[in-house]
Amino acid sequence: MPTAAQPAVQPILWCRDHLQLLDQRKLPQAVNYLSCRGAADVASAIHSMAVRGAPAIGIAAAYGLVLALRADVDGYDRAFETLAASRPTAVNLRWALERMGAVWLAGHDLEALEAEAIRIHQEDLEQNRRMAELGAALLPANATVLTHCNTGALATGGHGTALGVIRTGYAMNRIVRVYNTETRPWLQGARLTAWELQQEGIPGQLVADGAAAHLMASERIDWVIVGADRIAANGDTANKIGTYALALAARAHGTRFMVVAPSGTFDLRCPGGGAIPIEQRPAQELTEFKGQAIAPAGYDAFNPVFDVTPAALIDAIVCERGVVMLPTTDKLAALLR
């Protein structure tokens, strides 16, 4: 039975000798857990998107490192690199591994390493709750919001980032209407966000990605609220493909644009969006649907799965450390100092 401290949706279950991951490829039709027993299993679950969402893959990788070093105390470098290479864009992955690495290299202590992974997991939930309060406080009364991809409990240690703001805003009666994009091609919105909203009893409405600008033109949308996979030092933000188009449409229609992300998503080593690696995934994710061809045989596809929204299009970045309006390099440096 979920409690206040334990969220209803638990995508990551630490079982000490193995890790259980809710297989997000199967949702919403089936709720199945995958068992991971080492770094290779965890890296494969991340790469194949059984577990996805920037904070969630960082948490999973942290537990993966514990499993790897329990099996082979000399396997640090190999396990670190295997996990770090599983997906390139979300910096939370490397951030969590570097945090774990600092603990391991300080004393080669397996108990301390496990405790650090559990701390990373728990802290993420606490940070999400804090960001949810901060983000919800930016909403006007009777707000209508639009979100993209899935940034809920499934993508994090619980509650969610952008979806956490929506959950809390709805619970506070500040939000009257929620729209969420389907998020092609992987359908994180249609499959996962819709499932989470329904589980919470929050009435959402799905919109095709291509309908978002029309929606903003035909109805007042107060805020677009999204998560992030990496925020560069100047505030440029990488997030699920289609986020940039939403930000452009929002600016054109007087809709405000909020990015919600914990401090582990910021990459101050990255000066601007141009330095963020953008993951490209196989053409088949676009040319096929559930194994069935939807494009002519042999037709190629360009499939970047993230894009960069320039800081100039962002009205607010919400982090557990505070809120930055109209982000700049100086404001973000001060926030994260």
Position of tokens 């945090």?
99
Q: How far is CA 155 from CA 61, 90, 108, 251, in A?
A: 13, 12, 30, 27
Closest approach, Cβ 16 to ligand MRU, in A, equals: 26
Closest approach, Cβ 229 to ligand MRU, in A, equals: 5
146 contacts 225 by C-beta, under 8 angstroms: yes
Rounded-to-integer distance, Cα 237 and Cα 243, Å? 9
Q: Which residues bind ligand MRU (CB under 6 A)?
A: 52-55, 90, 149, 151, 155-156, 161, 188, 227-229, 239-240, 305
Position of tokens 């699920």?
240
205 contacts 122 by C-beta, under 8 angstroms: no
Residue type, 196: E
Rounded-to-integer distance, Cα 325 and Cα 317, Å? 6
**Residue 83: φ, ψ to 5°:** -70, -45
Looking at the DSSP assignment, which residues form a beta bridge with residue 33? Answer: 22
Looking at the DSSP assignment, which residues form a beta bridge with residue 232? Answer: 267
Closer CB to ligand MRU, 43 or 69, in the complex: 43
Closest approach, Cβ 101 to ligand MRU, in A, equals: 22
H or E, element range at 40:
helix 39-47
Closest approach, Cβ 241 to ligand MRU, in A, equals: 8
Residue 140, judged by CB atoms within 10 A of its CB (0-12, 13-18, 19+), counts as: exposed
Closest approach, Cβ 202 to ligand MRU, in A, equals: 17
Looking at the DSSP assignment, which residues form a beta bridge with residue 68? Answer: none
Which residue number has the CB closest to ligand MRU?
227
Catalytic residue numbers read 229
